[in-house]
Amino acid sequence: MTNVRTNMFIASWLCIILASGLVFTGPMGLVVGAPIGLAGAILLLFAIARVDEPTPMSEKAIGEWAPEGVEMPEGVGGSVMFRVDTTLDDPIKTSILCGNCGDVTWKDGKRPSNFTCPACETELWDHPEEEE
């Protein structure tokens, strides 16, 4: 279902406008217009409260995704910041963004236990105890 929220806005405003016209036509118009106006107001509240579902990414877009290669600020105590992203679906690939030089490196599989940036030769981490 697409554009549900937009359709709810349009329907609610049409109900409110129709009701406001009917209310001033006479006693019978008030009997018909008041429920339509209330329904329009309730529908408007539902439209405002509704959150649009994000459009899912295509398989192609997921496969082509890559982090932007930007330099990152220094971390606490002058340490080099880095970013690691690992895909959850097959094929499992890991991207590593070096915050020192902004280089993005791709590795097959999960996050390695140690890594040195090939562009600037900065050691980003060395945790051999994390190996599975």
Mean pLDDT by 10 residues, the chain (132 residues): 86 95 89 94 94 78 78 78 85 88 88 89 78 53
Q: Are 124 and 74 in a shared domain?
A: yes
How many domains are contained in the chain?
A: 2
Rounded CA separation 47/83 (Å) = 39
35 and 94 together in one domain: no
The secondary structure element, H or E, covering residue 107 is: strand 104-108
Three-class DSSP category at 97: strand
Domain range for 19: 4-49
Establish if 26 belongs to a structural domain: yes
89 and 68, same structural domain? yes
Residue 77 lies in a domain: yes
For residue 129, the model assigns a pLDDT of 64
Within 13 Å, how many C-alpha atoms sit on residue 17's CB side? Answer: 6
Tell me the whole-structure pTM to 2 decimals. 0.52
| 125 and 67 fall within a common domain | yes
